[in-house]
Structure 1
Amino acid sequence: MASHKILVIDDSKVIRMRVREMLPPGNFEVLEAKDGIEGLNLIRQERPNLIMLDFLLPKMSGWDVFQEIQTHSDLQTIPLVLMSGRKEEVAEKIIEPFEYFAFVEKPFEKKQLVDAIKEAMGKAKKPRPVAPAPAAAVSSPTADSPAASVSAAEIEALNVKIAKMQTEIDGLKKQLTQLVTFIKQKLK
């Protein structure tokens, strides 16, 4: 019986088979899922030692699976390799540099895959910031909750909002650049 489980979530059977063939020999079992819902169910049931996640999936996108993983501290520690043929789509949703997971662009070679797995293993060990306190808990400082901790929670919540806004701004910049390029081509 294999002691380690690797979950490959990709709607392409060719990619799933290719990943299986490229993995270095070892004592592990490769599990496969063809869509996001099936993948998330396998993550919860099997608790794999590594997740290879395609970003564009049917039924539930890789982005949605990623977000679900991020809401559970026990799932966040599973090394994750995000796969996509279009890195810009990933970067629109998740700001670079990718801090807690590895990214490999399709199509990829065996060395790129192995390097991404090693990178994901290292990144999964990084400590995650504590989630900001809920708004109700941040109401007003009392003797039991010093103003400093309230301010830190508020700052963290604002940093999260800033990061999301920056991602949206970067996406809009990219769209604007594409639009300008398109207009220039039409004017020629």
Structure 2
Amino acid sequence: MAGHKILVIDDSKVIRMRVRDMLPDGDFQVLEAKDGVEGLNLIRQERPNLIMLDFLLPRLSGWEVYQELQLEQSLQAIPLVIMSGRKEEVTDKLSEPFEFFEFIEKPFEKHQLQGAIKGAITKSKQPRIRTGAAPLKVAAPSIDTSEVAALHQRIEGLEDEVANLKKALAQLVKFVKQKI
């Protein structure tokens, strides 16, 4: 039995096999999942020592799997490498610098994968200041009261304009009915 478990969650069998082939030699077992639901179940059952997570997955996306991992303190400590063909997919949801995981853009080479794994292990050892869903929340923007007042005035003007248009439409309908 292998000493460590590495979980590769990707809907592409080719990517899963490629990652398996690129991993350094060692005493570990590679587990595979083809979607987010299967991956999350394996994470909870097997408690892997490293997770390689594709960001776009069927049934449960990599983003949703990441959110679930952040809700459980014991799962937050597992080194995580997020993989994606487009970095923008990840940065749309999580801003850089990535504090709690390492990112690798597909396609990647063996040395890039090994560097990402080392980085993920280092980041997993960093203390977490935030717990639960806190890292996912965004601060509310500050509200400029003068802008709000200007918007209210604009709304009142638009409401007057709509009322005038309704009157004009009623007159037009009345005129058409007289001509028919």
Same fold at TM > 0.5 = yes
Once the two structures are superposed, residues 45-103 of structure 1 have per-residue CA deviations (whole angstroms, 9 ceiling, x without a partner) of: 00000000000000000000000000000000000000000001100100100011000
TM-score of the superposed pair, with normalisation by structure 2: 0.74
> Residues of 1 paired with 2:120 and 2:19: CA distance?
15
* SS state at 1:63 partner: helix
Which amino acid in 1 is paired with 2:93?
A: K
- Counterpart of 1:127 in structure 2 is 127
CA offset at residue 131 of structure 1?
3.7
Contact 2:71 2:131 in 1 (8 A): no
CA offset at residue 161 of structure 1?
2.7
> Residues of 1 paired with 2:9 and 2:130: CA distance?
28
- Counterpart of 1:46 in structure 2 is 46
TM-score of the superposed pair, with normalisation by structure 1: 0.71
> Residues of 2 paired with 1:103 and 1:115: CA distance?
10
Unaligned 5+ residue runs, structure 2?
142-180
- Counterpart of 1:145 in structure 2 is none
- Counterpart of 2:20 in structure 1 is 20
Unaligned 5+ residue runs, structure 1?
133-156, 166-188
Structure 1 residues 63-102: aligned runs within 5 Å: 63-102=63-102
Once the two structures are superposed, residues 13-49 of structure 1 have per-residue CA deviations (whole angstroms, 9 ceiling, x without a partner) of: 0000000000000000000000000000000000000
The alignment status of 1:6 with 2:6, answered yes or no, reads: yes
> Residues of 2 paired with 1:55 and 1:43: CA distance?
16
Q: CA RMSD in A?
A: 1.7
Which amino acid in 2 is paired with 1:113?
A: L
* SS state at 2:75 partner: helix
Which amino acid in 2 is paired with 1:80?
A: L
> Residues of 2 paired with 1:19 and 1:2: CA distance?
17
- Counterpart of 2:60 in structure 1 is 60
CA offset at residue 129 of structure 1?
1.2
